[in-house]
Amino acid sequence: MIKRFNSIKVIIQSYFQGNSRTNLLIKNVFSSLILRGLGTAINFLFVPLVINFVNAERYGIWLTLSSVLTWFTLLDIGFGNGLRNKFSEAVALDDIKEQRKLVHTTAAVLILISTVIFILNVIFTDQLKWDEFLGVDASYRSELQQLVFLLISFFSLQFIFQIYNPIQFALQKPAMIARTILLGNVLGLIGILYLREFSEPSLFNLGFVVMGSNVLSIFLFTAYFFLVQRPDLIQKIEKPTVDTLGSIFSLGIKFFFLNIAYMVQFQTSNFLISKYFRPEKVTEFNIAFKLFSVASLIFGIILSPVWSSVTNAQVNNDYTWIKKLIKKLLLIWSFIAVGCIIGLLLAPTIYNLWIGDIITIPFITSLGVVLIVLSNCFSEIFISVLNGMGKVNLQFYISIFVILFFVPIAYFLSVEMGYGIFGICMAIVVTNVNGLIVAPYQVYVEMRKNRKLPA
């Protein structure tokens, strides 16, 4: 097995061979493939275990509520992504003092926001009728109130520790983030196996195990990073300044709206399905998405160092490297596309082996998910490059279009036209106009402006 991995690594190295930036990218891509591969295997085991523990309806409610909770990640108002770009620039310039300023300023903001989130959670969570909001039976009201309070409380802690992620991305070490995810997955799997043996079906217990595992994992890695790997970032406290705050926020607020657009497309999908169809349909959509998201996962791992690597290359005026990287990523995408088509043809057999007859996944749902995956993988090539360059103004304006029109388009296609889940999938593809058309053209313009493409 080790020899096989080494052979794969040699192939990747021969394809991406180049300078130290390229070598660091290869190292992290290869490590992330292994770590995220193990995490994906655990996730596949996780689905039937959870469905059998809480049933398909409760699992659909859990997925919907998880999607709603994901919106809370936007409350950092873009500081995470702003930190990622600015910290990457400071690393490229070897400016330790600036690195500390960026980290301490962002940490102060995250702690402040986290405190507000927890206070609002204590005051308002029990006052909301979550069953009506999610479109589920009123018998779940008490259970949902307890679950939501627990999840938001855990999230308040995770919100602070998540500063670890943009720093690792800026250091071009996404494999470190993959380690935190893997540990969280392992702890969650152990917890679910325990609950199946010693607990009655309970969304509260499920939330405690899954969210608690993730919080514990990122806390351990964050503490190790600052106390052992980079104590220089905390040995001397740099007082947050207005200038540093402004430099992060001016870029971060644009990423904030881009993230809102992404959330509108993907996280409201579960809500719309639950609201206008049934919670079981959320499970149907997410099982298909989980299967084909393997392609997104693999491609995302390859792309994960690209953003910060492009920032580094831009600081060093190495646009030739960026151009070569884009060509290689497009070739990899073509192989991903072929794999998705093969997976679509084999999907019925895979579903049967994976989840048995617990739930049936129609072919049209799988087709819609494949179209989402392929369009997103393609668009992420160019969006990652533009994000690394800090060229997000045009993306920002297009994100406003997505925020305003996705839900009406999704409702029209899925409910009014009667296409159901496939209609929501098509709405996601249609509103990805930035990634499919605008971003590729903008990258071409940037490369040409730097005289790296022929007129």
pLDDT tens digits, 28-69:
777 777 887 788 788 778 878 888 888 777 887 887 777 777
Asked if the model's pLDDT at residue 251 lies above 50, the reply is yes
Q: Is the model more confident about 136 or about 342? A: 342
Query: What would the mean pLDDT of 228-246 be, rounded to a whole number?
Result: 82
Percent of the chain with pLDDT over 70: 91
Q: pLDDT grade, residue 1 (50/70/90)?
A: very low
Query: Using an 8 Å Cβ cutoff, are 240 and 248 in contact?
Result: no
Predicted confidence at residue 450, as pLDDT, reads 74
Q: Can you read off the two tokens belonging to residue 352?
A: 């049967």
Contact by Cβ (8 Å): 63, 283: yes
The residue ranking higher by pLDDT, 20 or 216, is 216
Residue 9 confidence class, pLDDT cut points 50, 70, 90: very low
pLDDT at position 98: 86
Quote the pLDDT of residue 18: 52
Lowest mean pLDDT segment, chosen from 98-112, 243-257, 311-325, 410-424: 243-257
Rounded CA-CA distance 261/265 in Å is 6
Q: What is the pLDDT of residue 6?
A: 52
- Measured CA to CA, the distance from residue 19 to residue 13 in angstroms comes to 11
pLDDT of residue 223: 93
The pLDDT of residue 394 = 80
Q: Which of 271, 36, 233, 43 is nearest to 135 (CA)?
A: 271
On the 0-12 / 13-18 / 19+ scale of CB atoms within 10 A, 208 is: middle
Distance CA 164, CA 388 (A): 19
* Prediction pTM value: 0.66
Average pLDDT of the chain to the nearest whole number:
82
Stretch among 5-14, 51-60, 64-73, 400-409 having the lowest mean pLDDT: 5-14
pLDDT digits (tens, 9 = 90+) for 255-272: 777 777 777 776 678 778
> Exposed (0-12), middle (13-18) or buried (19+): which is 392, by Cβ within 10 Å?
buried
Distance CA 307, CA 84 (A): 9
Q: How sure is the predictor about 451, in pLDDT bands with cuts at 50, 70 and 90? A: low
Q: What are the tens digits of pLDDT across the range 201-211? A: 788 888 899 88
- Least trusted range by pLDDT, from 38-42, 148-152, 166-170: 38-42
Q: 44-48, 190-194, 361-365, 405-409: which range is least confident on average?
A: 44-48
* Residue 16: pLDDT over 50: no
Mean pLDDT over residues 394-415, rounded? Answer: 84
Model pLDDT for residues 310-337, shown as the tens digit of each residue: 877 887 788 888 888 899 899 999 999 9
pLDDT digits over 105-116, tens only? 888 888 988 898
